Structure 1
């Protein structure tokens, strides 16, 4: 195999900038306050449980004989699937996607164990996803190739690619279904590190460097607008959360920093001083390009940290993410930190939606379809119970009434617990909704104290004695 092409020549011939200015550090290390962005947080929240749901779907449909598996097999793979709780509890959250069946039982056999099957709607979505993966095969290979081109060694550990598989939009079996079709792009080789060789770690290595693909998203946009040449200043698009304000000295530094020459992330930045403003702009460019290569334009912060170590980023590069709050947003939802590229979103929706993201949103809709139906049926049942009490004017013994209320509120607790497990995919809680919930809860408390019907009705339940007295009058 021929050696990879040499890195591009030093940037000084492209830069009309004095060496002293390139290597200087003018940023005042001021604290940049974190302000919550509800839209971007919701973009994270609505994908709750999507990855384990998708992994379970792939496991069911990977069976060669029939798309079904015993529950015991799924439970044994809980850690691999990253299920947040017990397998049966997770499966029953999504009745529109998974069916729980029991084989016929003979008189002498042991009790039957449940078998999990996909619903027809889940099978249809899976088929659409396979068609989309096949249609995007060349585009997916190009994005993976460009990620390898960002690495100075032109290779990345295969386990790191596995970690980024979901964000890169790779099929689950990409080493067999994608890589062999591009032998001039990729090859799997033993690790280049001594520790990796001893442990049998494998790397994904670049075979052919394509200069036509070594153009960043920032440069592509500038070329479309016209008049751009290598080394010219390019300003990153800035979007801030509502209520965010920069200190005056930080705003002044940011304006000057945006005027610095833009260094392509596909060029070598090792000659730049690690703590210079120009090196920081190159680092931001690398992180920006990585997020642009990902299908959802976001990823866990830990993924960026692990990847940055292989992309030649300077130590402490993670601070760059928090310094540039107008370019990156760090969400703390779903018990992890997720870095989002701000310019790729309008509120919680992607500006340019990849076909795979469209299908993932359909999976989210299917996940919530059964949940919404179950909530509506419970609401109808509560309304029927309340109407019977009002129509019949029937008073039960106090003990029976307390038992009935305890059962009803136990059902509500279970429903609220399920809602915590599966966050709504289309609504963001507002202050008005929260106040409405508090009013409804207070009405229910008053209703229980005054023996009123459920729902906070103001009409009292009349006793038989009261009704007889009124009739006699």
Structure 2
């Protein structure tokens, strides 16, 4: 097995390249962006829905054959409810999606009371097959993105549990440790964690590919021409309508954008802590991580946990809130989600990964046929347009989150140290400083 290559270290820069942090006593407003909130909120219940779908359709010893595909006893699903992260009782969750799941009561055998079983609909089977083919077609892409993530880590390894937590956002198959990693022995190996706690395992990098050690920011700059390592690169800024930076913050931001761009794939341990240059490298790291994710967003807790293993500073939350033109923090769905602003136009991804297209089709299936008893049927049917059927529910109507209210949203904002504003924004004003 070839040894892991040494870290790619930068030349140390003179101290005058590393000014101390000048971003002080600045209050950054948080303005609700309804379009980006919608990008988050429309995926409500999608992950537990997908987990239940996989339980039904992926190979399982508990599964039994049925005329329309795999069927599982409701009791078996109920026993796995915590693992599936179902938001409420399994039977209630299943009945929310009649276009995806069918509840059956088979004929009793030997006088025993009948046990209800759940099976997938034809539409769900068809989407699952499409997803299986898409995962197969994007295996190389998934391996490259996972490789890049490991290349960002100073020790070129990450806990397998952290990778598994990011599996959905990375677009990896549910059983990636068995189905994907063995196909790339020159990329990855699973090794015991140095902590040795509870048999913990790490995913370690085997091959460092210099051709992949180019950030999204650098790739874009190279396309426009004239970029060389160490030059200044300005991050694209997209502010919500009605957002206005304080004068001192705006002046700081203009000077900060002019600082040299240090790639997240380069070692930054020589940078002075709490300097503006160190903060620019941290933002570059967050920017690259979000670019590696197929939805270009993830829960803030995921970023904080990952940051601990990427060598990012402890004040990561403040770094995110200092740059509202680069990152948007949504408080929907009882959590905080960090969204890469430049990746979205309103609530639509600018570049849609094939898996995201399929996820939007799952969302459409989830909404199709809901509440057939007539409750709110007319109101919700208006939210699914002909364009949704073609584009995969990119613009389904915004639904009210029954389990979330504005008071809780304000509490989340206060906990993150963001000054909240009552304004809401539908559109975005784009501001791109010159490089």
* TM-score, length basis structure 2: 0.84
Select 2:33's aligned residue among 6, 13, 37: 37
**Paired position in structure 1 for 2:86:** 83
**Paired position in structure 1 for 2:237:** 238
Cα distance in 2 for partners of 1:251, 1:122 equals: 50
Select 2:52's aligned residue among 56, 80, 90: 56
**Paired position in structure 2 for 1:287:** 286
SS at match of 2:227: coil
How far does the alpha carbon of each residue in 1:384-421 deviate from its partner, in whole angstroms, 9 at most, with x for none?
Answer: xxxxxxxxxxxxxxxxxxxxxxxxxxxxxxxxxxxxxx
SS at match of 2:31: coil
TM-superposed CA distance for 1:379, in Å, is 6.0
**Paired position in structure 2 for 1:174:** 176
How far does the alpha carbon of each residue in 1:353-374 deviate from its partner, in whole angstroms, 9 at most, with x for none?
Answer: 0000000000000000011655
Report matched runs for 1:289-304 at 5 Å. 289-304=288-303
Does residue 68 of the first structure (1) align with residue 38 of the second (2)?
A: no
Report matched runs for 1:36-435 at 5 Å. 36-64=32-60, 65-66=64-65, 67-105=70-108, 109-193=111-195, 197-371=196-370, 373-375=372-374, 426-428=396-398
SS at match of 1:187: strand
SS at match of 2:102: strand
Cα distance in 1 for partners of 2:90, 2:55 equals: 13
Cα distance in 1 for partners of 2:268, 2:292 equals: 20
CA contact (8 A) 2:264 2:284 kept: yes
Cα distance in 2 for partners of 1:49, 1:112 equals: 29
SS at match of 1:240: strand
Runs of at least 4 residues off by over 3 Å: 372-380
TM-superposed CA distance for 1:11, in Å, is 3.7
TM-superposed CA distance for 1:20, in Å, is 2.1
Structure 1's 359 and 332: CA in aligned 2 closer, same or farther, altered over 3 A? same
Structure 1's 139 and 424: CA in aligned 2 closer, same or farther, altered over 3 A? closer
Structure 1's 374 and 136: CA in aligned 2 closer, same or farther, altered over 3 A? farther
CA contact (8 A) 1:96 1:366 kept: yes
SS at match of 2:339: strand
Higher helix proportion (structure 1 or 2): 1
Cα distance in 2 for partners of 1:424, 1:232 equals: 38
Structure 1's 88 and 312: CA in aligned 2 closer, same or farther, altered over 3 A? same
How far does the alpha carbon of each residue in 1:126-154 deviate from its partner, in whole angstroms, 9 at most, with x for none?
Answer: 00000000000001000000000000000
TM-superposed CA distance for 1:10, in Å, is 2.3
Cα distance in 2 for partners of 1:11, 1:35 equals: 40
- Structure 1: unaligned runs, 5 residues or longer: 381-422, 431-473
CA contact (8 A) 2:42 2:399 kept: no
Cα distance in 2 for partners of 1:378, 1:205 equals: 51
* TM-score, length basis structure 1: 0.77
Cα distance in 2 for partners of 1:309, 1:95 equals: 42
Cα distance in 2 for partners of 1:374, 1:233 equals: 60
Does residue 6 of the first structure (1) align with residue 9 of the second (2)?
A: no
Q: Count how many residue pairs are aligned between Structure 1 and Structure 2.
A: 380
SS at match of 2:261: coil
Structure 1's 91 and 344: CA in aligned 2 closer, same or farther, altered over 3 A? same
How far does the alpha carbon of each residue in 1:241-270 deviate from its partner, in whole angstroms, 9 at most, with x for none?
Answer: 121110000000000000000000000011
Cα distance in 1 for partners of 2:240, 2:246 equals: 15
Looking at both structures, which has the greater relative contact order when contacts are Cα pairs under 8 Å and sequence separation is at least 6? 2
CA contact (8 A) 1:28 1:249 kept: no
Structure 1's 303 and 378: CA in aligned 2 closer, same or farther, altered over 3 A? closer
Cα distance in 1 for partners of 2:220, 2:228 equals: 12
Cα distance in 1 for partners of 2:378, 2:278 equals: 59
Higher strand proportion (structure 1 or 2): 2
RMSD (Å), alpha carbons: 2.0
TM-superposed CA distance for 1:429, in Å, is 7.2
CA contact (8 A) 1:23 1:272 kept: no
